[in-house]
Amino acid sequence: MITANDLKTKGIACLEENLADKTEDIITVRGKERFVVMKIEHYHYLREMELEAALFEAKQDMASGRFREESIDQHVDELFSR
């Protein structure tokens, strides 16, 4: 774990040191976990997995008939009528 004080005093060097052998770490503030910092490669991987999961879910919805066909205007009207 990285403390906020370590981050304040050591800056980016603290992050580089703590992420040298792992992809992510937690930043604590006053002893409580507050933030997660990670290598950009890991962030991109997680985003890709998130998009893959959304695509899989959309395909499942299509396959099981859980969708509607409507015009863009109908869709926008529905969004703003809520």
Question: Can you give the pLDDT of all 82 residues of the chain as single tens digits?
Answer: 999 999 999 999 999 999 999 999 999 999 999 999 999 999 999 999 999 999 999 999 999 999 999 999 999 999 999 8
* Rg of the chain (C-alpha set): 21
Range of the domain at 67: 41-80
The predicted structure's pLDDT at residue 41: 97
Domains of the chain: total: 2
Residues 69 and 50 in one domain: yes
The 3-class secondary structure across the chain, one letter per residue, is CEEHHHHHHHCHHHHHHHCCCCCEEEEEECCEEEEEEECHHHHHHHHHHHHHHHHHHHHHHHHCCCCCCCCHHHHHHHHHCC
The reported pTM is 0.74
Residues 76 and 47 in one domain: yes
Single-letter code of the amino acid located at 24:
E
Residues 46 and 73 in one domain: yes
- Residue with tokens 């906020």, as numbered in its chain: 4
The predicted structure's pLDDT at residue 82: 86
Largest CA distance in the chain: 56
